[in-house]
Structure 1
Amino acid sequence: MAGPQWDERVWRAVGSPLLAGASEGPLLGESVAVKDLYDVAGFAVGAGNPAWLAASAVAAVSAPVVSTLLAAGASVRGISRTDEFAYSLAGTNPHYGTPPNPAAPGRVPGGSSSGSAAAVALGEATIGLGTDTGGSIRVPAAYQGLFGIRTTHDVVRRDGLVPLAPTFDTVGWLTRSPDLLARVGDVLLPGSTTSADRRLVMVPALLALADADVAAAVAGWQPDLGLRLPEAWPLDDLSSWRDAFVTLQGWEAWQAHGAWLEDRLDTLGADVRGRFERARLVTEGEASAARDVVAAARETIRDLVADRIVVLPAAPSVPPSLGPDLGERLQAARAATLALTCIAGIGGLPAVTVPLTTAGGLPCGVCLVAAPGRDKDLLDLVNQGSVLRV
């Protein structure tokens, strides 16, 4: 081929297919955009950073989750872009460019699973394989009008995956339909807990963390389901939970990559470099204190969720527009987003995003969160198209 015939902001490598799947299986005919954090046989992992790619060895075998999708009949369409080391929620990679957002042109695509989301939204793949640590499935799903799932922590194997913060890292995927989202779950989710209890509740204090247009869309979602309103949660400690999440995430990120980055921080874009520089300063004592806060918060969150399904905004705003002062605006958006997304992250809970549209016509998302292991319950609920009209 004389040159790349694909959008390099979306894809690092593309084939027809890049890797063929089995000749039969429940996902026969589907195509996967694999986030550039997973091992793909015959390719090195780039993790969104050219220096890391140059230093990486070619993978001999694919990550188990990739191999499972291939065995189910799906093909790998290609390797999709990610924010550097998945340490961002924006999707604005300084080395390769910002993937387009077909649902909201001129606005950020959301990260760090930005390439996988864009590939699916553009119709260039049917399944976007990504990860979610602090919202990296939920945010691009909301920003690009997609369905997405962050799975229960550790329910899907993370072998062959470049880590960010193992306490919070999870496997996730995005699709354009709830049916396909659920069918991928049938392949990847082993023996998920099921429950007949599908009471949906909404917490006004969490809804209030979103901008007015997003809050209105989420509050108006499926009123015929009889959401129980209000349900008061004791959230006075939410800001300290978020701060502990950020501290522990940073400490684990530096443990995972600090030795390599110590003399290579200048290879990073400004926003991710700033996070790693702050992470570098986190002491073991600070990390230990944050871990204690996270452990206590996890117990509280799981008790609050209990056997219900909690409805909250997937992200607090519509996708920020590109243009002047973007960096500053993204920092503010990140802080606001983590206040919502850290709930499932700290709890290790499954979270499914359903696309919505604001009154102004911009994409946003509603997120359904349940107890650990109820991934398939959430997928089944969202897939009941006759009940859940989006």
Structure 2
Amino acid sequence: MTPLPLFSANMLLLSVFAISFLAISFSARPNTHWRSWAVANALSVGALAAVASLSELTLIAAYLLPNILLLAGFGFHLHAARSLKQESTQYSVVLAPAGIYVLVAIVAYLLEAYALAYIASNVLFAALCVAIAVTYGSASFRGLVSSFPLIVAFGLLALEAGVRLLNGLLAEGPLGPGMIEDGAVNIHLMISLMFVAISGAFFMAISFEQLARDNHEDARRDPLTGTFNRREFLRRLEAQLQPAEGTSFGLVHFDLDHFKQVNDRFGHVAGDEALVKVCQAIRHHLRRSDCFARLGGEEFGLLLPNVGREDALMIAERIRKLVENQSYDFAPEGFQITISGGMYHGIGEGLTPTDLFKIVDAGLYTSKNTGRNRITLVGQETETPNFSNELVQIDGLSQPGNELQSAV
């Protein structure tokens, strides 16, 4: 079988995907990865066309053009993968492998050391494929089924480049540009065709899969602060109360003290900035399993699964101090925002989310009525709400005995 049909099949499929990706990029947002995929495929078409017509090119063009186009194309594949990962990549990095190859190829041409150019092109190509496979294997794509076929596809190309390099060196070394003219050419082109088909399909799949995941995540998040929203918080609280759980947990309901005065004094933009800063500080000091949510306005909820009473108290106090010690660019030095809240700790047996919110709300009102800037733990000795049980207050007041006090 002559290589021409395989060249044609590769070029046709690459062209179809390039046009498809470009068309999608006009309506998709974000669209950077779609356009990078389109450019990558278009450059690969050019590389294959150059290889297929080596006899028509001058010697220096035959050395430079196919591999420059191929390496630039896979540089854009790396750009697309990193864009999908929401990481920026300078175009100088994208084109660096092609630039390195130009320098090596010119030296090889001048010295007539043709094996040097052949080695450089395959090593650079393999390195690019490995970098792309590693990107799709990173944590950002964890849970996306489509990432695995892409890892395999680029890994296969990296392996194939290594085999091609070994094959060329063992075949008495390449004597000029292009592929070694032996029976392996058709195998290389078949592998290329498989790669184009698999990667093209799963480029689309991973993009739409990631979009679906992002939409699902957006539905669970508050758009301003990035914390979970009320719906997600209630869902997790209900799951915590399922009989199968049976583990102790903490529930904190708090709001920002006198927050209306922040908006009135500094403006609503400053108020939003304060909410974002407070939430960022708290989120960075929580466990992965904790659920921190904005329940509305300046009102927040915190669910602490599988935590002991003393640890729950420690976490609540840490949060109170974090908020108290925050500084804000829009406010003068010494300006403070504090929180007041109510807290429950137990297994929640026989309680509904409504019951629990009544309990923590009782603690919240106690905190408000006894000076603010504190979180009150409401003890629960029975299976139904009884707000006359033990109250423990955690606050940052400086008077002796106020750091941890109890009342009946």
Normalising by structure 1, we get a TM-score of 0.23
**Bigger proportion of residues as strand:** 1
Which protein has the larger Cα radius of gyration, Structure 1 or Structure 2? 2
Normalising by structure 2, we get a TM-score of 0.22
Which structure carries more relative contact order (alpha carbon 8 Å, separation 6+)? 1
